[in-house]
Copies of this chain bind each other. A is one copy, B any other.
């Protein structure tokens, strides 16, 4: 008999095996993170794009709102800029800028490299859980996190990546299926330029069979059916992004949320046009026109830095055609502006009913 009280609940100190994904870019407000954790799930601050002082403030704020454990999600990839094909890319982006009325198209040509500093802040403030995407903590970072009793989680998209994560000493692994919204967690991009795209149904049991650490299923999971199915596949928890994007506490822009509600399972594509790394989002004019131009985006993080002013202006203008509308493939099942704590409770109750009947 499958139970919702999996060992990972004890490991993380949470009541329910429901983890809110650490989505970078402002959606994971301190309200969202603390509400999810307060309701017995695990909230995660998507901190990858946060300046050090912002991260420090946010962690302190979450700590003041809840005594429950929460996670901080970082990118574990070096931020090495490469603007060598700048002119080709700018030619496309400048047409978007003109349309958005961006007066000064000269973005600063340097990406911040906050990874190491972000990690130090997490260590200093003793956050309960650090999770990474795009790669693994260094051996030194891993040892220091362990010495502070911080649990470390890595996202993977293949069995080989899961094995590498386990060897590096992680406490748990997020197996991210192709259904997932936002960036592919793939760190073998040389082998999979558009990210490995293994479906959740396929990836989860194969990762479970390959490693001994607990596996967290991610990708396409929105409700209690997805939680129950994931546990049946051998996962010990689920990580959910898009559903929490649609919550009341989410920091997602109003028109972004509306685009989620208007979308279907056919709406998303995987694109590198916004950030230089493959990510799943709702197809809009930015993606279509960038891809039509047949110009390879700059690598991450340079493409991301370069498109920042466009995404910001689109936000100000409430124009979803030029925003990155990250979304998974299960948007028909989203609830509209449900409080995050209710989302946690609803998913838990739905899964309970499936296992226990009634």
A 1-31 binary contact with B (CB < 8 Å = 1; else 0): 1100000000000000000000000000000
| CB within 8 Å for A200 and B201 given contacts A229-B232, A332-B209 | yes
In chain A, positions 245-302 with a C-beta closer than 8 Å to chain B are 264-266
Q: Report whether A332 and B220 are in contact in the complex, using a CB–CB cutoff of 8 Å.
A: no
Verify A202–B158 contact, CB threshold 8 A: no
Q: Is A241 an interface residue (CB 8 A)?
A: no
The 5 closest A-B pairs by CB, nearest first: A202-B220, A1-B357, A179-B199, A199-B199, A229-B229
Chain A residues numbered 179-216 whose CB sits less than 8 Å from any CB in chain B: 179, 191-192, 196-203, 205-206, 209-210
Which residues of B lie under 8 Å from residue A158 when comparing CB positions?
A: 264-266
Cβ distance A326 to chain B, nearest Cβ, rounded Å: 15
Q: Is A329 an interface residue (CB 8 A)?
A: yes
Find out whether the CB atom of A228 lies under 8 angstroms from the CB atom of B220: no
**A223 nearest CB neighbor, chain B only:** B205
The minimal Cβ–Cβ distance linking A329 to chain B, given in whole angstroms, is 4
Are A330 and B178 in contact, CB atoms less than 8 angstroms apart? Answer: no
Q: A160-B266, A199-B329 are in contact. Are A229 and B223 (CB under 8 A)?
A: no
Q: Contacts of A199 on B, CB cut-off 8 Å? A: 177-179, 199-201, 219-220, 329
A71 at the interface (CB under 8 A from B): no
Output the nearest chain B residue to A226 by Cβ-Cβ distance.
B201
Closest-by-CB residue of B relative to A158 is: B266
Measured in the bound complex, the distance between the Cα atoms of B330 and A209 in whole Å is 12
Q: Is the CB of B233 within 8 A of A229?
A: yes
| CB neighbours of A179 from chain B (8 A) | 198-199, 201-202
State the A residues within 8 Å of B (CB): 1-2, 158-160, 177-179, 191-192, 196-203, 205-206, 209-210, 219-223, 225-226, 228-230, 232-234, 264-266, 328-330, 332-333, 354-357
CA distance A232 to B355 in the complex (A): 9
Q: Is the CB of A2 within 8 A of B354?
A: yes
Say whether A206 contacts B330, CB under 8 Å. yes
Q: Which chain B residues lie closer than 8 Å to A355 at the CB level?
A: 1-2
Shortest C-beta distance, A239 to chain B (Å), equals 13
Q: How far apart sit A67 and B333, CA to CA, in the bound complex (Å)? A: 42
Decide if B229 touches A265 in the complex (CB within 8 Å): no
Cross-chain contact B201 with A159 (CB below 8 angstroms) = no
Contacts of A232 in B (CB 8 A): 225, 228-229, 232, 354
Please tell me which one of the listed residues B209, B223, B265, B356 contacts residue A203 in the complex, with CB atoms under 8 A apart. B265
By a CB distance below 8 angstroms, the chain B residues around A196 are 265-266
